[in-house]
């Protein structure tokens, strides 16, 4: 049963009932950092710390990797059906603990409680999906001459490292952990220091569901002190990283030293292509949701509106009106939009907006800091729409990672395609039109890993996700995501 908005507000001052973890989760139990150090997690909605957690370093990483290496020998030989049963029980435990997890996620990341509940539900569905895939990972046979037999089989790649971002902590943790465990791999996860708590709670639930100790370990701390030694460890066989292009480059260089496999999801500058024949009201709602959900702090956010000239003026005016009605507030108060993640993130976004003003940009809505009206605290930026900007403008080319939508006017669908492909990113794109042929022509020709047609963020865990160009490589979600944690062994035998 969901808690009511009023009953949620007690967690603004007292989190005792949440039973928050304050240590690493290694070898099936919580433990303090070897150094004894700790750090604090901040509630972005209030700009205040609300929890302590362990500040890990290379020694803690070494303990976690050693634990997962030992556990791998057991877990890889656990029958696939039994692995599936454990993941299915995990899904049920996530659902049973969903409100606690959502409140923790809301406090840790700042997102509205409704969005956090959706993320927790999605995490449960992720474990449910991969629970059903464990015993369906099948190899192939090869058409060799009659006196030979040839076949392939999937094997788990080994010990996997997961660098989890701060914007979708439980979702991204589940998206990597569940397929890795389904494939027979073990896991060492390093959640972002801004939002470490739900990854720890997820590891705890996995053990409660029957996962052997050491199969999933979580070490908290900073990227420099814990993340870097994790991806550089010779005991790691695969790295899944979600984060910025710059940090991803550092991770890839560390992987190269040990020839470690990797999947890289590095963000984007995703276009939402709107043609004149779109369903006007539905498209307005979708464009707003694509950029203002979680205050635009989504790698696949629709941060560029590429709109056909015929409806440009009317559409942008209506979108501006909608943006100005969006309520802001602490996530536990169920606003339309919450804060950005930190003071540093707020200041980075404001830097983009201040430089745009110097260049003469026109703001349709927002563009300023907005105080949390309940407390006067927190890191809030108004929902912002910036009028038509040239193709080489910084707001068009750079990932802002905030509630900032940049408009680009297209002469026709051909021009819209050109604009859609005019950045170095290629993660996702949206297409809105009533013309089935135009929709699929654009979907064919836009260079992105995933295309949404007439509904932004369409799909689910079943649909592979990942980017092209500087948005990264490899795929998560779906069966492709499961195969990311497998290596293929081919066997050929002479039988006659």
Per the CB < 8 A criterion, the answer to whether 451 and 443 are in contact is: yes
Give 190's strand partners: 163
Are the C-beta atoms of 221 and 55 separated by less than 8 Å?
Answer: yes
Decide: 468 and 451 in contact? Cβ < 8 Å. no
CB crowding 298-307: b at 16 or more within 10 Å, else e:
bbbbbbbbbb
Cα(256)–Cα(258) distance, integer angstroms: 5
| Candidate list 115, 225, 265, 382, residue with the active-site label | 265
Overall pTM surpassing 0.95 (yes/no): yes
pLDDT of residue 135: 97
pLDDT of residue 372: 66
pLDDT of residue 136: 96
| Cα–Cα distance for residue pair 53/164, rounded to 1 Å | 16
Q: How far apart are CA 80 and CA 85, in angstroms?
A: 9
DSSP state string for 150-191: EEEEEEE--EEEEEE-SSSHHHHHHHHHHHHHHHT-EEEEEE
Cα–Cα distance, 37 to 41 (Å, whole number) = 14
441 sits in which H/E element:
helix 436-445
Pairing of strands 261-265, 186-191: unpaired
Question: 266-300 pLDDT, tens per residue?
Answer: 989 999 999 999 999 999 999 999 999 999 999 99
Three-state secondary structure call for residue 416 = helix
Q: Is 444 helix (H, G, I), strand (E, B) or coil?
A: helix
* Separation between Cα atoms, residue 175 and residue 177, nearest integer Å: 6
* The predicted structure's pLDDT at residue 6: 77
Residue 134: active-site member? no
Q: What is the mean pLDDT of each run of 10 residues along the chain (496 residues)?
A: 74 95 98 98 96 98 98 98 98 98 98 98 98 97 97 98 97 98 98 98 98 98 98 98 96 97 97 98 98 98 98 98 97 96 97 98 96 79 97 98 98 98 98 98 98 98 98 97 98 95
Q: Are 426 and 448 in contact (CB under 8 A)?
A: yes
The radius of gyration of the chain from alpha carbons, rounded to an integer in Å, stands at 23
Question: What does the pLDDT read at residue 1?
Answer: 47
Q: For the chain, first and last CA: distance in Å?
A: 65
Query: Annotated catalytic, 399?
Result: no
Of residues 406, 402, 405, 404, the one with CA closest to residue 391? 406
H or E stretch covering 405: strand 404-410
Residue 294's closest CA among 476, 64, 119, 37?
A: 119
Whether 450 and 465 have beta carbons less than 8 Å apart is answered as yes
Catalytic option among 134, 185, 278, 299 = 299
Q: What is the DSSP string of 290-334?
A: HHHGGGG--TT-EEEEEEEGGGHHHHHHHHHHHHHT--B--GGG-
**Contact (CB, 8 A) for 419 and 306:** yes
Q: What is the pLDDT of residues 206-228, one digit of tens each?
A: 999 999 999 999 999 999 999 99
Tokens for 31, please give them.
């433990």
């Amino acid at each position: 049963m969901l808690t009511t908005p009023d009953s949620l507000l007690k967690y603004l001052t007292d989190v005792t009932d949440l039973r928050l973890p304050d240590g690493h989760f290694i070898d099936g139990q919580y433990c303090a950092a070897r150094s004894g150090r700790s750090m604090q997690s901040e509630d972005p909605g209030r700009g205040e710390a609300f929890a302590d957690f362990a500040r890990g370093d290379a020694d803690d990483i070494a303990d976690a990797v050693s634990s997962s290496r030992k556990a791998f020998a057991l877990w890889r030989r656990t029958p696939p059906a039994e692995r599936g049963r454990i993941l299915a029980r995990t899904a049920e435990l996530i659902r049973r603990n969903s409100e606690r997890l959502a409140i923790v996620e809301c406090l840790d990341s700042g997102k509205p409680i409704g969005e956090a509940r959706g993320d927790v539900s999605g995490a449960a569905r992720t474990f449910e999906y991969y629970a059903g895939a464990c015993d369906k990972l099948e190899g192939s046979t090869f058409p060799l001459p009659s006196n030979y037999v040839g076949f392939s089989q999937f094997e788990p790649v080994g010990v996997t490292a997961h660098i989890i971002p701060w914007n979708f902590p439980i979702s991204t943790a589940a998206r990597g952990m569940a397929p890795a465990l389904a494939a027979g791999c073990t896991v060492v996860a390093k959640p972002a220091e801004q939002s470490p708590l739900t990854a720890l709670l997820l590891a705890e639930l996995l053990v409660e569901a029957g996962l052997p100790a050491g199969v999933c370990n979580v070490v908290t701390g900073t990227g420099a002190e814990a993340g870097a030694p994790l991806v550089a460890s010779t005991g790691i066989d695969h790295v899944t990283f979600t984060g910025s292009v710059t940090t991803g480059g550092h991770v890839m260089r560390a992987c190269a030293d040990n020839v470690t496999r990797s999947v890289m999801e590095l963000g984007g500058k995703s276009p939402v292509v709107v043609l004149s024949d779109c369903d006007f009201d539905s498209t307005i709602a979708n464009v707003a949701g694509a950029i203002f959900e979680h205050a635009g702090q989504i790698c696949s956010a629709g941060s560029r509106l590429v709109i056909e000239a015929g409806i440009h003026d009317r559409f942008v005016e209506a979108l501006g009106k909608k943006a100005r009605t969006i309520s802001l507030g602490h996530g536990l108060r169920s606003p339309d939009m919450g804060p950005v993640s930190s003071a540093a993130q707020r200041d980075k976004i404001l830097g983009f907006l201040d430089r745009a003003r110097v260049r003469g940009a026109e703001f349709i809505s927002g563009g300023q800091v907005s105080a949390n009206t309940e407390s006067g605290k927190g890191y809030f930026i108004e929902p912002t729409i910036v009028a038509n900007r040239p193709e080489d403008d910084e707001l068009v080319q750079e990932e802002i990672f905030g509630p900032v939508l940049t408009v680009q006017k297209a002469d026709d669908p051909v021009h819209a395609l050109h604009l859609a492909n005019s950045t170095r990113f290629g993660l996702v794109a949206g297409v809105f039109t009533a013309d089935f042929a135009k929709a699929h022509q654009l979907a064919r020709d836009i260079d992105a890993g995933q295309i949404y047609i007439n509904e932004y963020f369409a799909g689910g865990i079943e649909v592979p996700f990942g980017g092209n160009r500087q948005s990264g490589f490899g795929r998560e979600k779906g069966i492709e995501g499961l195969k990311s944690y497998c290596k293929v062994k081919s066997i050929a035998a002479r039988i006659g």
